[in-house]
Amino acid sequence: MARPKPSTFEKAKTVAENRRARFDYFIEDKFEAGIALSGTEVKSLRFGEGSIAEAYAEVRDGEAWLINANIPEFSHGNRFNHEPKRPRKLLLHHREIEKLVGAVERQGMTLIPLSIYFNSRGRAKVELALAKGKKTHDKRQTIKERDWQRDKARLMRERG
């Protein structure tokens, strides 16, 4: 029997985070995926280097790929160094990939990486989100709500 998925993923060390994604997209569903990395890529990530600001994921030929994620070359890597922006394979179950394909094709959603992190077992993982793009007026509403929450917290602190 399969064990139930936790509502939040256990993140021992977060390497890269896409903070802009929560502002630009409505996050519908989240998935945890492994990444197929070479040795120097893992070393670069352990040093805390890496960026997923412009990254996205797509499904090609029944496999999920992380595109445009930047993991810089390892400083002590010699000729075995990796290419910084190469496509990286995401390790997901077949059912999860089928669910992602269905949502992207039928509902017009996008696959966005939210963060790259190491779990408690030391494995590099990607938190993927099925997201729907926000319009300009939605972004303005998000800014309004965020400012109101900040003002409300300030007022509560002042009044005790």
| Measured distance CA(38)–CA(7) in Å, rounded | 29
Q: Name the residue type at position 99.
A: K
| Measured distance CA(160)–CA(6) in Å, rounded | 36
Take residue 83 and report the two structure tokens written for it: 């290419």
Determine contact, residues 129/25, Cβ cutoff 8 Å. yes
List the chain pLDDT tens, one digit each, 160 residues: 556 666 677 888 899 999 998 888 999 999 999 999 988 888 888 888 889 999 999 999 999 999 999 988 887 777 778 788 899 999 999 999 999 999 888 888 899 999 999 998 989 999 999 999 888 888 899 999 999 999 999 999 998 7
Cut 0.85: pTM above it: no
What are the phi and psi torsion angles at 98 (to 5°)?
Answer: -65, -40
The residues spanned by each domain of the chain are: 13-134
| Measured distance CA(42)–CA(158) in Å, rounded | 46
Domain at 13-134, CATH class: mainly beta
What 3-state class would DSSP assign to 102?
Answer: helix
Determine contact, residues 116/128, Cβ cutoff 8 Å. no
pLDDT for 13: 87
Determine contact, residues 44/116, Cβ cutoff 8 Å. no
| Measured distance CA(160)–CA(154) in Å, rounded | 10
Q: Name the residue type at position 132.
A: K
